[in-house]
Amino acid sequence: MNARGFTLLEILIAMAIFTLIGLASTGLLTTVIDSNALSEERFEKLQQLQRAMITIERDIQQAVPRAVRHNGEKQEIVMTGGMREDSDAGFIGFVRSGWDNPQMMLPRSTMQPVAYRLNEGKLERNYSNYVDNVIGFEPKTRVMLENVTDFKVEFIANEATRTRSMDDDELNWSESYTGAALPRAVAIEIVSEDFGRIRREFVISGATL
């Protein structure tokens, strides 16, 4: 019985089929890898957003009526916010408590001055180890969020009234605040290229709106 091999045309056709299968498999694998990389990047940004919002919430809800010395001089202002020259958008600065110092082992208190500002598309948290620092001290900076296009802070002062009646849920929000007492509430609004507009409202010192 005569053995019959493959013709050149059959071999070429088989090679073409295997090449197409290989190209399709490579394209699918590349798509899966790219999709996985995008998912990991998105998840990392989401984690950064969650950490930032948790930190902001903790700081604002632990705000205390403690004034900070400015250039060594005593002042009465305990919270300030609005537009500032050192911020590309909104700004807020105050002192917060609850900074862990077990058994007071570290040479500092449990209070910490903090401030939030927008700088070149980055939401920054400025802080220092001491409430009253020496003249010329530069605060430390931690980037909380990137790709931020706008940062807005609003306040309801202690003497705020409702815009229509006491039964109306609409309240007077102010875009700036400077006071010797803490406001009733603070709202933070962040516009992010990755997540759009995010707004959180916080009641201060247990005040009821």
**Ranges of each domain in the chain:** 57-203
Percent of the chain scored above 90 by pLDDT?
A: 47
pLDDT, tens only, 62-115:
999 999 877 667 788 999 999 988 899 999 999 999 777 776 666 667 889 999
Is the per-residue pLDDT at 17 higher than 70? yes
pLDDT of residue 4: 64
Average confidence score pLDDT of the chain: 83
pLDDT, tens only, 143-165:
999 999 999 999 998 764 444 33
Is the per-residue pLDDT at 169 higher than 60? no
CB 57 within 8 A of CB 155: no
The span from the CA of 114 to the CA of 125, in Å, is 7
Enter the tokens of residue 98.
Answer: 């609850």
pTM of the model: 0.74
**Positive or negative torsion for Cα 127, 128, 133, 138:** negative
Fold of 57-203: Pili subunits (3.10.610)
